Each structure stands twice: as C-alpha cells, then as structure tokens.
C-alpha cells in the first residue's frame, strides 16, 4: 500500500489530493522529503501487501493482515478437473493407436499401452490426493517438490564396477541421502578429451529418473514414479568406458501433481 493521510485516505503518485482541512496539494507531492511527508503533512507509509496465488485466495482482508481463502471444496473441484484435462491431453497423442485397433485390429504396441495405463494410474493417485486434502496448504503441497538429498551433484566414476553394478542394477555412493521416488538428473559429464563421456548402459544422458530401492549407500533407478503404478528398476547393462565424473543431481521429491509419466523414456518408446 502507498502513503496514507491521517484520515485514512490512500494517495496515488502523480495525482493531486485534498486534505481534511480542504487544502489542495499538487500532483508532484512525491518530491517532498520523507521527513516532510511524515512530520509536516502527517502522512504514513504502509508497506505493500505481499503477493498471493489468486487461484487459492481472493485477496487480502481489509486490515491487510490475512488472506481470504477460496472454498476448499471449490478448489478441489477445479484441481480434479485440471488433472482430468491434463490426463486427456497426454492421452490424446496416442488415441490413434486405439482407433486403429478398433477399426483394423492392429495391435497397440506394449509401450503405448504401458504409457496410457501410467497416465490413468497417475490421474487416479492425484485425484485421491486432491480429495483427501483438508485445507489449502495440503492442496498446495501436492504441486510442490520437497527438498532433495542435496542441492549439489553426486559424482561417480562410472567406469568402476564397484560403483556401477550391472548384476544388481545399483549405483553406489556412500551416504548418498537419496530416498525412494526422489527425482534425479543424470549427466555423463566430460571425458579426458572434453567430449561427452559414454553413458552407463541402460541410461540416457541428460534425463530424469526416480530413485528406487534406496539403501544407505546404494540406489537403483526407475523411469517412472511409483504414482504411475509401473515403477521398475532400470537394467544397467554396462559401465561407461570413460565417464569418470558422471553425476546424479537431486530435483527433490515431487508432489503428486508432478509425477506424470514421461513419454521420452525408453519404457514408453513410441508414445
């Protein structure tokens, strides 16, 4: 809020005003010093009210000390509708497989079926979370990530079998701190020739994965979140030949509104 007169009138910059004694003041009153405004003109400054999310709130109350919430029931209805629309949008690109199956009896590829099932499963999980929320804070939490194991990257030497196990499909990092369903970003780093190093077999460079089967010092990876109903351990098929500085960087643990399946992952190839 801006400057205010003693009788509670808010002033606008660049506009003249009349005080309670009927005295008119010019439009350039903002050039007055702060001391003159406060001690001579008896004006007071009110700090602007904080920003707010107008999806969840109508605005500030008249005292400017609390937000006016929208009805939780109405918010739930809107959020479930949004989730349904997102689900329909994600399904739309593969609907033609279903039409083709209906009209010509050509089988739908297994990867496409898996992707479509994951979308519907994630929608069901999200809808349940929305309807189970008791207040606005719980609704907002559905669409936020909680802090991950570390803001920094966890670096590994992916050329070592003691770090990358192709038999157990694990990555070993002492006290890594990752937890199941935490989202991590995989990067191969540079080799000694300053070129992209070779990937760990079974993974894709510059891709997001979800932590699976985490222990204190090891973890596995999944191409999808457990909310999709198909979280499965990625098979690590080989060490990197030259990736001594590969990294996994936490993106936090996503809320249930952030776990839609990614059709760029190999398990959904073709979607």
Segment (H or E) for 179 = none
Dihedrals phi, psi of 58, to nearest 5 degrees: -75, -35
The whole-number pLDDT of residue 150 equals 63
User: Which are the contacts of 15, defined by CB distance < 8 A and separation ≥ 6?
Assistant: 27
Distance CA 119, CA 259 (A): 9
The whole-number pLDDT of residue 47 equals 76
Distance CA 232, CA 216 (A): 20
Yes or no: say if 56 and 75 are a contact pair by the CB < 8 Å rule. Answer: yes
pLDDT tens, N- to C-terminus, the chain (271 residues): 578 898 888 888 899 999 989 999 999 999 999 999 999 999 998 877 788 999 999 998 877 778 999 999 999 999 999 999 999 999 999 999 999 999 999 999 999 999 999 999 999 999 999 999 999 999 999 999 998 766 678 999 999 999 999 999 999 999 999 999 999 999 999 999 999 999 999 999 999 999 999 999 999 999 999 999 999 999 999 999 999 999 999 999 999 999 999 999 999 986 6
Yes or no: say if 163 and 157 are a contact pair by the CB < 8 Å rule. Answer: yes
Residue 257: strand pairing partners: none
Burial bucket for residue 86 (CB in 10 Å: 0-12, 13-18, 19+):
middle
Burial bucket for residue 269 (CB in 10 Å: 0-12, 13-18, 19+):
middle
Distance CA 140, CA 144 (A): 7
Yes or no: say if 148 and 248 are a contact pair by the CB < 8 Å rule. Answer: no
Helices of type H across 48-150: 72-92, 95-104, 110-132, 136-141
The token pair that represents 209 in the structure block: 């994965």
For the whole model, what pTM was predicted? 0.81
The whole-number pLDDT of residue 172 equals 98
Contacts by 260-264 with C-beta closer than 8 Å and gap 24+?
A: 260/86, 260/90, 260/119, 260/122, 260/228, 261/90, 261/115, 261/118, 261/119, 261/122, 261/224, 261/225, 261/228, 261/230, 262/208, 262/223, 262/224, 263/90, 263/93, 263/115, 264/207
Yes or no: say if 211 and 120 are a contact pair by the CB < 8 Å rule. Answer: no
């Amino acid at each position: 809020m801006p400057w205010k007169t003693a009788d509670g009138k808010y002033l606008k910059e660049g506009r003249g005003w009349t005080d309670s004694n009927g005295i008119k003041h010019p439009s350039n009153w903002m050039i007055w010093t702060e001391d003159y405004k406060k001690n001579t003109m008896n004006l007071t400054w009110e700090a602007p009210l904080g920003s707010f999310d107008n999806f969840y709130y109508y605005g500030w109350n008249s005292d400017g000390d609390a937000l006016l919430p929208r009805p939780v029931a109405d918010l739930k209805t809107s959020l479930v509708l949004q989730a349904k629309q997102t689900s329909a949008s994600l399904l739309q690109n593969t609907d033609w497989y279903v039409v083709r199956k209906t009209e010509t009896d050509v089988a739908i590829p297994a990867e496409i079926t898996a992707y479509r099932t994951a979308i519907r499963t994630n929608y069901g999980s999200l809808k349940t979370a929305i309807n189970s929320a008791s207040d606005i804070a719980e609704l907002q939490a559905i669409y936020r990530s909680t802090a991950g194991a570390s803001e920094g990257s966890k670096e590994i030497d992916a050329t070592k079998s003691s770090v990358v196990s192709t038999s157990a499909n694990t990555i070993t990092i002492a006290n890594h701190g990752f937890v199941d369903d935490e989202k991590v970003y995989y990067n191969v780093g540079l080799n000694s020739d300053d070129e992209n190093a070779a990937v760990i077999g079974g993974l894709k460079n510059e891709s997001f994965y979800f932590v699976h089967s985490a222990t204190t010092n090891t973890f596995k990876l999944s191409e999808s979140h457990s909310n999709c109903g198909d979280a499965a351990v990625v098979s690590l098929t080989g060490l990197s030949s030259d990736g001594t500085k590969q990294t996994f960087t936490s993106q936090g643990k996503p809320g249930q509104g952030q776990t839609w399946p990614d059709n760029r992952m190999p398990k959904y190839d073709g979607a």
